[in-house]
């Protein structure tokens, strides 16, 4: 039925969509904003079942399976939020955020209210933030990462060998992939070999291939990874773990641009761009006689060092939000979000295992959380233990919002803080010194 009452006039003035349902999930009342978002005529949805209006969405499927509105919290549950995407009559995607409120018993038969918010502009802003702060699978808005992105893009345009260094877990493999995807070899093969995972005798055949009968069990000739990567890029991960004998053979390949399969004498030309990666100090290994100096300089033509996560703490919130979206998809829990307190906790930790440890900690939190909100208590104990370097990290303080001189400056400031907060609007509003409602209005005005 249309909103004709005084309450209805008020509801029709809201930007948020509002629907009132009875216990059987029939629509009793809907305001004009909700009708517009869903793409229906407000006067024709009276007594329509709510799951029918959102047919095909996770919310509707959960509603049907549960037999009642899936967004209404059960006893002891926190409030639930569901993000869905509907198709407009014109065929465009309409991203919506929805939640429900149980209503007190009343004579009108109203059981709950569904609130809808159009996220179209918010999604555009999030995409703009992601595009600005991402390079392939790498994520970061810090000056260190922005400078690193520029180096990666410059190096990608070269054909020279690259040595990627950095601590374990910083994402060296992602750097190698970004180099390939942004190079002239992007349409060629990208092949990765984890040198530490293979014994010496197997590593040689993996890299260079073998002839039929070269050893027991070699019933057919087999090309190696260098041949497979012909015209593309070959990542030699953990290059510091290879034996002196393999180092010598690899040096010859880099010098001559040709390989010889195990058990053959026939050289084969290969056109491969080599990217080597290691967490070890190869220069120190050269000084100790553990790594060939000539091979080191062959690989060290274009060095790239990936910053550790503790060196770019301002990226933690954005990175955690990005990783949580991946986990939310994997665990089919699209409403997952980080609390401001959890973000503060993560920004205070040193993360010796870098991005890999951050991802594992978030997965631990997802598994151990009951609702949609990730709290500090959901994080693993080792990620919340106070450490000396934590005490050096300033805790966030309350500030009061002072609008910049121009609208353009304000827009840039809001986008910057939103990115630092990993897309968490509550945390962004706190850092800006404004209420969430004010931030939402500012985003709509943009």
Q: In terms of pLDDT, which residue wins out, 134 or 320?
A: 320
CATH 3.40.50.300 fits 124-130+312-445, yes or no: no
Question: Strands 27-30 and 17-21, how do they pair?
Answer: antiparallel
Helix 425-432 to helix 436-445 angle, to the nearest 10 degrees?
Answer: 100
Give the whole-angstrom CA distance, residue 300 versus residue 142: 26
- What residues have CB less than 8 Å from 201, skipping those under 6 apart? none
Residue with tokens 């040096």: 251
* The pLDDT value given to residue 258: 93
Average pLDDT, rounded, for the chain: 84
With a cut of 90, say whether residue 397 has pLDDT above it.
no
107 pLDDT band (50/70/90 cuts)? Answer: confident
- Residue 303's pLDDT is 95
Strand 112-118 versus strand 17-21 pairing type: antiparallel
Handedness of CA 284, 286, 288, 290 (dihedral sign): positive
pLDDT at 18 over 50: yes
DSSP category for residue 49: B
Quote the CA–CA distance of 160 and 176 in Å, as a whole number. Answer: 13
CATH class of 6-118: alpha beta
Provide φ and ψ at 50, rounded to 5°. Answer: -60, -45
Judge whether residue 133 has pLDDT over 90. Answer: no
State the Cα–Cα distance between residues 101 and 113, nearest whole angstrom: 5
Residue 296's H or E segment, with its range, is helix 293-299
Identify which has the larger pLDDT, 45 or 180: 180
- Say if residue 260's pLDDT is above 70: yes
pLDDT category at 45 given cuts 50, 70, 90 is confident
Distance CA 354, CA 308 (A): 6
Of residues 81 and 228, the one with the higher pLDDT is 228
Confidence class for position 230, pLDDT limits 50, 70, 90: very high
The reply to whether the predicted model has a pTM over 0.85 is no
Say yes or no to pLDDT of 362 above 90: yes
* Portions of the chain given CATH number 3.40.50.300: 143-305
Asked if 262 contacts 208 with a C-beta cutoff of 8 angstroms, the reply is yes
- pLDDT for 164-202, tens place per residue? 999 999 999 999 999 999 999 999 999 999 998 888 878
Residue 365's pLDDT band, with cuts at 50, 70 and 90, is very high
Residue 239 has pLDDT above 90, yes or no: yes
Task: Count CA within 13 A, CB hemisphere, residue 416.
Answer: 11
Indicate whether 407 pLDDT > 50.
yes
In this model, does residue 395 exceed pLDDT 50?
Answer: no
Which residues have C-beta within 8 Å of that of residue 347, sequence separation ≥ 6? 313, 316, 317, 393
Q: Which residue has the tokens 């209420």?
A: 435
Task: Please give the pLDDT value at position 141.
Answer: 86
Burial of 176 (0-12, 13-18, 19+ CB in 10 A): buried
Condensed to tens digits (0 to 9), the pLDDT of residues 211-224 reads 887 777 777 888 98
Lowest mean pLDDT segment, chosen from 4-8, 36-40, 290-294, 344-348? 4-8
Instruction: Look at residue 396 in the predicted model and tell me its pLDDT.
Output: 42
Q: Could you tell me where in the chain the CATH 3.30.450.20 domains are found?
A: 6-118
What is the distance between the alpha carbons of residues 241 and 290, in angstroms, rounded to a whole number?
Answer: 10
Give the model's pLDDT for residue 388: 42
Residue 126: predicted pLDDT? 61
User: What does the pLDDT look like over 50-106, one tens digit per residue?
Assistant: 888 888 787 788 788 777 787 777 655 556 777 888 887 777 888 888 888 888 888
- Cα–Cα dist 432/440, whole Å: 12
The most confident of 31-40, 276-285, 412-421, by mean pLDDT: 276-285
Given this model, what pLDDT does residue 393 score?
A: 38
- Contacts of 49-56 with CB under 8 Å at 24 or more apart are 49/24, 49/25, 50/19, 50/21, 50/25, 50/26, 50/114, 51/25, 53/27, 54/84, 54/86
CATH 1.10.8.60-classified regions of the chain: 124-130+312-445
| 289 phi-psi bin (left φ>0, alpha ψ -120 to 50, beta other) | left
Partners of residue 138 on adjacent β-strands? 135
Token representation of residue 432: 């800006």
Report d(CA 223, CA 205) in Å as an integer: 8
> What are all long-range contacts of 46-53, with beta carbons under 8 Å and residues at least 24 apart?
46/1, 49/24, 49/25, 50/19, 50/21, 50/25, 50/26, 50/114, 51/25, 53/27
**Architecture in CATH for domain 143-305:** 3-Layer(aba) Sandwich (3.40)
Does the pLDDT at position 9 exceed 80? no
> In this predicted model, what pLDDT tens digit does every residue of 301-340 receive, in sequence order?
999 999 999 999 999 998 999 999 999 999 988 878 898 8
- How high is the pLDDT of residue 74? 66
* 316-330 and 120-133 helices, crossing angle to 10°: 120
């Amino acid at each position: 039925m249309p909103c004709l009452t005084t309450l209805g006039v008020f509801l029709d003035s809201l930007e948020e969509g509002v629907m009132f349902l009875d216990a059987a999930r029939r629509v009793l009342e809907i305001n004009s904003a909700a009708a517009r978002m869903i793409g229906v005529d407000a006067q024709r949805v009276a007594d329509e079942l709510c799951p029918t209006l959102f047919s095909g969405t996770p919310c509707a499927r959960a509603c049907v399976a549960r037999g009642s509105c899936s967004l209404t919290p059960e006893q002891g549950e926190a409030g639930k939020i569901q993000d869905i995407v509907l198709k407009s009559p014109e065929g465009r995607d309409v991203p919506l955020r929805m939640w429900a409120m149980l209503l007190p018993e009343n004579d009108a038969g109203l059981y709950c209210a569904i609130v809808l918010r159009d996220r179209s502009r918010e999604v555009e802003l999030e995409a703009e933030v992601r595009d600005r702060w991402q390079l392939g699978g790498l994520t970061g808005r810090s000056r260190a990462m922005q400078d690193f992105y520029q180096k990666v893009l410059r190096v990608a345009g070269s054909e020279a060998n690259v040595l990627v260094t950095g601590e374990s877990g910083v994402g060296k493999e992602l750097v190698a992939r970004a180099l390939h995807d942004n190079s002239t070899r992007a349409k060629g093969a990208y092949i990765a070999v984890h040198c530490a995972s293979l014994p010496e005798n197997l590593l040689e055949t993996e890299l260079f291939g073998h002839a039929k009968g070269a050893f027991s069990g070699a019933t057919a000739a087999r090309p190696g990874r260098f041949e497979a990567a012909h015209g593309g890029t070959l990542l030699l991960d953990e290059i510091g773990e290879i034996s002196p004998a393999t180092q010598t053979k690899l040096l010859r390949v880099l010098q001559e641009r040709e390989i010889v399969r195990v058990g053959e004498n026939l050289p084969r030309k290969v056109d491969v761009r080599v990217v080597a990666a290691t967490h070890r100090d190869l220069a120190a290994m050269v000084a100790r006689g553990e790594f060939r100096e000539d091979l080191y300089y062959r690989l060290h033509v274009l060095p790239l060092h990936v910053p550790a996560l503790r060196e770019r703490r301002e990226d933690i919130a954005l990175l955690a939000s990005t990783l949580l979206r991946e986990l939310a998809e994997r665990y089919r829990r699209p409403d997952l979000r980080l609390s401001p307190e959890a973000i503060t906790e993560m920004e205070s930790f040193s993360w010796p295992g870098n991005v890999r440890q951050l991802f594992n900690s978030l997965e631990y939190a997802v598994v151990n959380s009951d609702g949609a909100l990730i709290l500090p208590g959901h994080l693993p104990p080792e990620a919340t233990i106070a450490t000396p370097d934590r005490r050096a990290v300033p805790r966030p303080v309350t500030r009061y919002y002072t609008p910049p001189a121009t609208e353009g400056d304000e827009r840039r400031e809001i986008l910057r803080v939103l990115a630092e907060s990993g897309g968490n609007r509550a945390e962004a509003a706190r850092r800006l010194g404004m209420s969430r409602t004010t931030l939402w209005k500012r985003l709509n005005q943009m």
